Amino acid sequence: MKYDIILKTSVIIVFCNVFMIDFFVYIEMVLAWCFGIVLVMLALLQIDRNMTIKNWLLMFLFMLMSVSFYQALIGFFVYFALIDIYILNEGKLTKSAFWNSAGVLLCGGGAGIFNIGLLRVLQKIGIAQAESRTEDRGLQGILSNIKEICGNIENLFFNTHGFMPAYMVLIALIIMYGMIIVTLIYRREAWQQYIYIFLLIVCVRGVVYVPHLLASTVWMAPRSIISYWSIFSMPCIILLVWNVDKLSLCIEGILAVIVMGTNIVNIQMISENVIATNRLDEQVAYMIQQKIDLYEEKSGQIVDTIYIRNDDNPSYKYKAIDFQQFELCERIYNVSWGCVEAINYYNNKEYITVLMDDASFANRFSKKDWDSLNLDEQMVFDGNSLYFVAY
């Protein structure tokens, strides 16, 4: 293809971007994500200009298996499926394009709904563990989530949750989609073309956020909106389908390369901070264990339980770390599911985790508030128990 580099860059950026770095926190999810994305590709292979019942059934089956690995993969499926149909129909809103696109949305949405319903059933009968984020909040909760999602979308456009330079995404999108609008006007395209492009954008963007509507807590961590970067891929591919002039394609290509390059640079920067945070967490675990060993040697007691909590104004990142968003570069001792587990992991121990109540905190620590590590004050021993407060 004449503009092969533009096509490749526009597709690669969907997968190679700063949001992928969030998997550093949940390494075990990477394997599940890989299996899921392979199943998404198998589902996409079923797309044809003339879809048969067999194609639809296989597509739905592959998507059912895919979302069981990772729900956010629906965004990848919907984007690539709709853009594939767009290419097959040469950018024209034909009857085939409309019904096939509707079928893709039903297939992806149906697989997601089935997965959520199955999870609810498994939670009811006790096979799957109930989680606070999967609780049903009803209509009021959905309306509240819509408001919160809109706030997150605004942040993504202006600041990208701090993962990219401020306003870079907004400026790039204005130029990219502005060129599409100008091209539509210049070519005097039929109104159906405007509707097709509009619906394509709405569907591809909407599917990124829809899963958060049903959550009891909107926590739009990068891994949960991993298909967000298709927003940059779409205008490049649309203009390639239109076979626009060389200048327009060069501008789109340069923008795609700049966005891609910035992603790569930021991935490196964030990775360095993740590794540094892990090393600091490790050193703190050794320091805590040294204090425990000293106490056991002097008292003759054997510590088997650690009571934990944060002080009133916890610091979620180390002062030496330049970046922290969501769980990325978050101090492990500030999260209840990681504090004692980190101490156990680095010291080969099996301490029991207990959340400290307010009374114990007030009695033993006088509700102190720290802004740095001070183990002499933040660790209090009582018999076979350690009371530990993270600053």
Q: What is the pLDDT of residues 155-165, one digit of tens each?
A: 888 888 888 88
CA distance 99 to 270: 43
The pLDDT, as a whole number, for residue 135 is 55
In whole angstroms, how far apart are CA 316 and each of 12, 319, 324?
32, 9, 8
pLDDT confidence bin for 121, thresholds 50/70/90: confident
Q: How do beta strands 379-382 and 352-355 pair?
A: unpaired
For residue 176, the SS3 value is helix
What is the β-pairing status of strands 352-355 and 305-310?
parallel
Category of 374 on φ-ψ map: left (φ > 0), alpha (ψ -120 to 50) or beta: beta
For tokens 């298909």, the residue is 227
Question: Could you read off the pLDDT of 352-363 as tens digits, one per residue?
Answer: 999 998 888 888
Q: What is the pLDDT of residues 166-187, one digit of tens each?
A: 888 889 889 888 888 888 888 7
Query: What pLDDT is stored for residue 391 in this prediction?
Result: 87
* Better-scored residue on pLDDT, 78 or 247: 78
Question: 118 pLDDT exceeds 60?
Answer: yes
Cβ atoms of 308 and 340 closer than 8 Å: yes
User: In the structure, what pLDDT confidence band is assigned to residue 137 with cuts at 50, 70 and 90?
Assistant: low
Q: What span, in angstroms and rounded, lies between the C-alpha atoms of 104 and 14?
A: 19
Q: Dump pLDDT digits (tens) for 23-53.
A: 877 777 888 888 999 999 999 999 987 888 9
CB-count burial class (<10 Å; 0-12, 13-18, 19+) for 43: buried
pLDDT reported for residue 256: 80
Question: Is 19 a residue whose pLDDT tops 70?
Answer: yes
> Is 328 strand, coil or helix?
strand
Look at residue 207 in the predicted model and tell me its pLDDT. Answer: 86
- Least reliable range by pLDDT among 72-76, 121-125, 162-166: 121-125
Higher-scoring residue by pLDDT: 71, 120:
71
**Range of lowest pLDDT (2-11, 210-219, 312-321):** 2-11
pLDDT of res. 348: 93
61-89 mean pLDDT: 90
Mean pLDDT of 119-128: 74
Closest by alpha carbon to 352, among 319, 314, 305? Answer: 305
Q: Say which residues have a Cβ less than 8 Å from residue 212's Cβ, sequence separation at least 6.
A: 145, 149, 218, 220, 224
236 in Cβ contact with 9 (< 8 Å) = yes
Q: Kindly report the average pLDDT of the chain as a whole number.
A: 85
pLDDT for 131 equals 59
Inform me whether the pLDDT recorded for 342 exceeds 70. Answer: yes
Write out the E strands in 229-362.
305-310, 352-355
The tokens of 370 are what?
A: 């720290």
> What is the Cα–Cα distance from 328 to 25, expressed in whole angstroms?
6
Q: pLDDT at residue 113 above 70?
A: yes
**Mean of the pLDDT values across residues 359-379?**
86
The confidence score (pLDDT) of residue 119 equals 73
Coil vs helix vs strand at 154: helix
Query: In this model, does residue 224 exceed pLDDT 90?
Result: no
Share of the chain above pLDDT 90, in %: 27
pLDDT higher than threshold 70 for residue 130: no
pLDDT at 349 over 60: yes
* Percent above pLDDT 70 for the chain: 94
Q: How far is CA 9 from CA 85, 262, 270, 282, in A?
A: 20, 13, 22, 38
| Distant-in-sequence, close-in-space partners of 278: CB < 8 Å, separation ≥ 6 | none
Q: Please state, in angstroms and rounded to a whole number, the distance separating the CA atoms of residues 284 and 191.
A: 63
Sign of CA dihedral 37, 42, 46, 49: positive
The reported pLDDT for the residue numbered 279 is: 94
Any idea how long the chain is?
Answer: 391
Query: At a CB cut-off of 8 Å and minimum separation 6, what does 206 contact?
Result: none
For the whole model, what pTM was predicted? 0.81
Phi, psi dihedral angles at 181 (to 5 degrees): -65, -45
Residues 357/310, Cβ–Cβ less than 8 Å: no
Between CA 88 and CA 84 the distance in angstroms is 6
Give the β-pairing of 352-355 and 385-390. unpaired
Q: What is the DSSP letter of 356?
A: P
- What is residue 304's predicted lDDT score, i.e. its pLDDT? 92
Average of per-residue pLDDT across 280-297? 94
Q: What is the largest CA-CA distance in the chain?
A: 86
pLDDT band at 6 (very low <50, low <70, confident <90, very high): low
Instruction: State the Cα–Cα distance between residues 326 and 30, nearest whole angstrom.
Output: 18
